[in-house]
Each structure stands twice: as structure tokens, then as C-alpha cells.
Structure 1
């Protein structure tokens, strides 16, 4: 690119010099020649006037007198009728520029100048014009190099940015170059980098959410399958297999919801459902886990509640709260249902030390954990609750009380029959 810019600039400058330089040389040559001719003619007229004045006054006309009065440095020939011709200076050889002046009484003055003097003057002018043209060419090359560097450096930088994007580094560089077209390309690359960063973040978030939300159902499913392998009672096998199948269905629901949230985290499907069934299902699923950990899980509160939400999502939120109590709390895990205004509330608490004061305001942020855990369980639970129009709050830090708030009443009968997208 630099070479092309230099070549094109140099070609333009050379064409301009060729067009205007030749014209200037022709004009300057003609001007110098005309000036030399006018000077010779003027000198011939001046000498003629001196000769006429001396003849009228009866004064002698000699070469010395004419040379002194005329100040002539050129060759001059003065012809006076009845007298010998008078010569002043040395007659030039070769081509000359001749000026002739005739008097009223027949006298004649001829002045000659060597044409070589004009040639030397033209040569000096050509030398000056050539020097100016050379300076113009040098200036044009320097300017082209500077412009080439100014354009090539941003293009190199943009290529490096594109290469960084291709290698998986989506950080925008926010560099601008003062060239509108290049700045437009930089804007597009920065916007692409931000989109790629968002997509990579969404993919990583999906992977983290999937690993976290699938871990508990898979653990429960493996426990059911272990129960089947160690029992010989056909009734127990059928019962555990039935529970295992229901857990497989829950796993499928978790995967589908994860994929839905990965496309749009604000999208949820809410219906009117029986809250007791979700709570009961979670208690049955977590009771073996609590028993193996030497802990107990109990349920109390108002029964027969109906809430608006997605049963699978509510079950995942409740599972996240119970798992959080098992991992970070102590003693009995208590699940309580109650009503406040037009909302159904599910509270989960335990007898542990509670949430540290420094984590209270940030407990629902990702990567925030009181112990060596992933720190995404409560964040995922909050996203699931908000996707269905509910909310998840920490009501009390010591002992910890987490509450899931859900609407109790559907907005219309149609919402009781069909899922509502929010």
C-alpha cells in the first residue's frame, strides 16, 4: 500500500511538473529573448540620440566620446553619411541579437549582443526551475511516505484486532485513527468484540448453570438406582423406578429450561400450579440426602396454596435453597409456606451460623460464596424466580431465612389454561 501511494503521488507530481514546467520554460525563454531584444533596441536608440545631438551642435563624434556618454558594453556600429564608420566594442562571433536605429539625416546605429548571453540566462532559469521541480518531487515523496504510514499503521492495527478476535480474545480496543473510514471499521470491530464477549459469557454461564443444576437431580437419581440395586423386593424396585423416572423427567425439564434461558433469560412460562406438590416432591427428593448427612428436613405452614409460576423452575429454586442450607448451614432444614397479601411465600431456613455480614448484600451475585463452592447456585435461583415474575430474597441473615415470593392469582382465566410468557 505504501509503495502504491508513493508511486501514484510521484506520478501525479511528475505529470504536473511536465505540464506546467514545459510551459514555464517556454514562457521564460520567450521572455528572456524579448527582454534582450528590447535592451539592444533601446541601446541603439540611445546611441542614435547622442549622435544626433552632437551633430546638431557641431561637436565631434568619436568612439571614445560615444563609449563614455552611452555607457555601452555591447558592440555598436555608427554609420554617418560622408564619414567613416565608427565601431565601439568588440564585434561578437556567431549568432547575435541585433538592434538598428535610423536617424533623420541618414545616420544609422547598429548594436549587437552575442546570443550566448541569452542562452546563459535561459540556462540559469532552467536550473532554477529544475531545482524547484526536484524539491517538489522530494516533498511529494516525503508526504506520500507520511500518508502511507498514517494509513498503513491503522490498517495493521485493525488486522491485529481482527486476529485477536479470531484467537478468542474479544476485548474491544476502542482505538480511533482520525480517518472516518478506518474509524468506521474500528467501530464495527469493537461492536463485534462486544457481541462475541456476550456470547462467550452466555456460553460459559450456560455451562456453569447446567453443571450446577444437573448435579443435584443426578445425585438423587443415582441414590434411587442404588436403592434398586440393593433390594430384592419387587414392590420397592417398582416404587424406586417410578421415582427415578420422574427425576429423569425433571432432568429433561431442567435441560429445556437451561436452553430457554440461554436464548433469553427473561423468558419464562408461568401457570397456576399446586404449591404443595412441588414442596412435597422436593422433600421426598432431599430427605435421603439429609439423612445421609445426619440432618433432618421438615415442612410446616399453610397448605392448599396455588401460585403462578413454572413448577419446574420453582422446584429448582427450592432445591437450590435446600442445597445451600445443607452445604453452608447446620441442624434441621425447615421449609415453611405462608401467605402475604396476594403472594405465596416459601421460606427455607436452618439452624446454622447464617450469612456473614460482609456477604449479606452480595449473596445473590455470581461467584460470591461463603465457602469453597461455585457461588452460582443462589444467583441461578434468583434468575429463575425473576424469569417467572417472582423474586428471591434474604429476609434474615442469622439464622438464615431465604424466601421465594410468587403470585397467587393468575391475571385471567386464559392464564390458568395456557402458559404465560413474561
Structure 2
């Protein structure tokens, strides 16, 4: 493309020079020739005037007198009736410029000049025009090279950007070139890079969230199946099977919610639900794991609370907090429900060392973890809480107290606070 731009620019300049240069040469040649002819004509008229005036006054007319009235490089022939012809200067040979003037008494003056002077003047003019044309060609080439570089270099950059996008590197370059059309292409490529980056981030986040959120219900389901496999009591088998079916339903809900959030993170499915049922289900689900670890999980606080949210999402948030306490906490884990203003609050606390002071509020950031874990559990829990208008906060670091705030509706029933084991 660079060579084509240079060749096209040079071709345009050559055409312009050919058209205007030839015309200028013709015009200048004619102008120089006409000027030389007019000069010789003027010389002949002046000489005939001098001859006439001398004749009127009966003065002597000599070659010496006439030579003072004519240019040194010109030749003049004066013919006066009844007298011998007078010659001034050396008569030129070859091509000449000639002019003849006649007086009232029959006198005649002929002035001649060699056309070599005109040829030399035309040659100088042609040299000047040629030099200007050469300068124009050189300038055109330099300008064409500059313009070609100005256009081809951005195109090369844009091609490299497109190639990077195709190879999976979605970093926008935010580079502009001062050419509106090229800048428009750069804008489109940068916008595409940002969209691709968001899509890749969403896919990676979906994979991480899915692996984390599916792990808990799968672990719980595995424990229920183990309980079934080691017991011969039909009632126990039936109870554990029902709980396992509940885990399967929760697993299905988790998958559907992940897919929904992947399509549109703003899509919510908040409903009014019984908070007691969700808390009870989580305690029953996690009690075997805590029993195996030699620890207890209890509940206290207000009962009969109804909140606005997605039951499956609230269950996943509580599961993340309970699992966090199981892995990083110590002693008894307590789930306490209470009311503050128009919100229902579920607090999850344990008797462990709590959150390290250097983490603080960063505990909800992805990849932030106080132990050897993925660091996305609390981040996913916070996103789930905020998806339906709630919020998840760390109220106290030592011992750790996490609180899930949900919008509350009117109480269905009032029951005194009592621990549940």
C-alpha cells in the first residue's frame, strides 16, 4: 500500500507538471520571441526618426552617428534615395530577427539581430522551469512518503491490534492517529477489546463461582449418601434420602442461578419466603459435618421472620458463612436472627480466632483469604446477597461475626428466642 500511495501521488504530480509545464514553456517562448521582435521594431522606428530629423535639417548622416543610436550587437542598413547605403555593425548570419521602417521621403531602415540571444533566453527559461519541476517532483515524493508512512503505520498498528484480539489478548491500546477514519477503526477495536475482556472475565468468574458453589451441595449430598450406605434402619434411610433429594433440588437451583447470572447478572428472582425454613435447612445440612469435627452448630433469636429474597441464594450465602466457620473458625457456630428497622438480620459467629487484622474489609475481595483456600467464597456470597437487594457485612473481626441483611415483611408469628440444637 505504501508503494501504491507513493506511485499514485507521483503520477498526479507528473501529470500536473506535464500539462502546466508544457503550457508554460510555450507561453514563455512566445513571450520572449515577441519581446525580442518588439525591441528590434522599436530600434528601427527610432533610427528612421533620427534619419528623418537629420534630413529635414540638412545635417550629415554618417555610420558613426548611427552607431551611437543602435545596440552594439545589432546590425542596421540605412538606404536614402540618391545616396549610398549606410551600414552600422556587423551583419548577423543564420537565423535573425528583422524589422524594417520607412520614412516619408523614401528613406528605409532595416535592423537585424541574431536569434541566438532569444534561443539562450528560452534555454534559461526552460532550465528554470525544469528546476522548478524537479523540485516539485522531489517535494511530491517526500510528501508522498510522509503521507504513506502516516497512513500505513496506523494500519499496521490496527492490524496488530486485531491480531492480538484474535489470539486472545483483549487489552485495548487506546492509541489514536489524528486521522478521523483510522481513529474510528481504533475506537471500534478498543470497544471490541473491552467487550471481549468482559466476556472472558465473566466466563472465568462463572467457572470459579460454579466450582465453589457446587462444591458445598455436592459435599452435603455425598455425606447423606454415606449415611444411607452405612445404616440398615429404613426410617433413617428414608430421612436421609429425603434430605438428599433436598440437596439435589438445591444443586439444581444453584446451576440455574449460575446460568441466569451468566446471561444477565441483573436478573433477580426475589420472593417473600420463610427465613426459619432456610436457617433450619442449613443447620440440618451442616450438623453432620460439625459433628464429625467435634463441634456444634446452634440457632437463636427471633423466629417467624419473613424476608424478601431468593431462598436458594440466601441458603448459599449461609452455607458459605457456615463452611467458612467450619474451615477457619473454632468452637460452636451460632446462627442468630434478629430485626433492625425494616430489615431481617442473620448473624453467623463462632468462637475461633476471627479475621486477621490485616484483612479487615478486604475479606470480601476475590482471591483474599486468611488460609489456603480459593478466596472467592465470601466474594460470591456477597454478590448473591446484593443480587436481591440485601447485603453481607463483617460486623466484628474477633471473634468473627458476619451478618446478612435482608428486606423484611410483616411477622407471621412471634416466638421467644431459644437455642436450637
**TM-score interval (norm. to shorter):** over 0.9
C-alpha offsets along residues 337-356 of structure 1, whole Å, 9 cap, x if unaligned? 22223322211100011122
Structure 1 unaligned regions, length at least 5? 411-422
Q: 1:260 matched to which residue of 2?
A: 260
The TM-score normalised by the length of structure 2 is 0.93
C-alpha offsets along residues 206-226 of structure 1, whole Å, 9 cap, x if unaligned? 111111111111111112222
C-alpha offsets along residues 352-374 of structure 1, whole Å, 9 cap, x if unaligned? 11122332222222222222222
The TM-score normalised by the length of structure 1 is 0.92
Q: 2:413 matched to which residue of 1?
A: none
Q: 1:415 matched to which residue of 2?
A: none
**d(CA) in 2 for partners of 1:304, 1:129:** 103
Q: 1:62 matched to which residue of 2?
A: 62
Q: 1:19 matched to which residue of 2?
A: 19
Query: How many residue pairs align between the two structures?
Result: 410
**Given that residues 266 and 386 in structure 1 are in contact (C-alpha distance below 8 angstroms), is that contact kept between their aligned partners in structure 2?**
no
Task: After TM superposition, give the deviation of residue 21 of structure 1 in Å.
Answer: 1.5
**d(CA) in 1 for partners of 2:142, 2:22:** 24
Task: After TM superposition, give the deviation of residue 293 of structure 1 in Å.
Answer: 2.1
- Decide which moves more: 170-179 or 363-372: 363-372
Q: 1:89 matched to which residue of 2?
A: 89
**d(CA) in 2 for partners of 1:338, 1:136:** 88
**Given that residues 50 and 70 in structure 1 are in contact (C-alpha distance below 8 angstroms), is that contact kept between their aligned partners in structure 2?**
no
**d(CA) in 2 for partners of 1:307, 1:62:** 135
- Decide which moves more: 52-61 or 276-285: 52-61
Q: 1:248 matched to which residue of 2?
A: 248
**Given that residues 77 and 111 in structure 2 are in contact (C-alpha distance below 8 angstroms), is that contact kept between their aligned partners in structure 1?**
yes
**d(CA) in 2 for partners of 1:157, 1:289:** 58
- Any idea what SS the aligned residue of 1:117 has? helix
**Given that residues 225 and 240 in structure 1 are in contact (C-alpha distance below 8 angstroms), is that contact kept between their aligned partners in structure 2?**
yes
C-alpha offsets along residues 9-61 of structure 1, whole Å, 9 cap, x if unaligned? 12221222222222211211111111111111111122223333333444432
Q: 1:136 matched to which residue of 2?
A: 136
| Superposition CA RMSD, Å | 1.7
**d(CA) in 1 for partners of 2:91, 2:84:** 17
**d(CA) in 2 for partners of 1:37, 1:26:** 17
**Given that residues 265 and 383 in structure 1 are in contact (C-alpha distance below 8 angstroms), is that contact kept between their aligned partners in structure 2?**
no
- Decide which moves more: 327-336 or 355-364: 355-364
Task: After TM superposition, give the deviation of residue 280 of structure 1 in Å.
Answer: 1.4
Task: After TM superposition, give the deviation of residue 101 of structure 1 in Å.
Answer: 1.4
Q: 2:305 matched to which residue of 1?
A: 305
Q: 1:420 matched to which residue of 2?
A: none
Q: 2:337 matched to which residue of 1?
A: 337
C-alpha offsets along residues 72-98 of structure 1, whole Å, 9 cap, x if unaligned? 421111111111111222222233211
Are 2:319 and 1:319 equivalent residues in the alignment?
Answer: yes
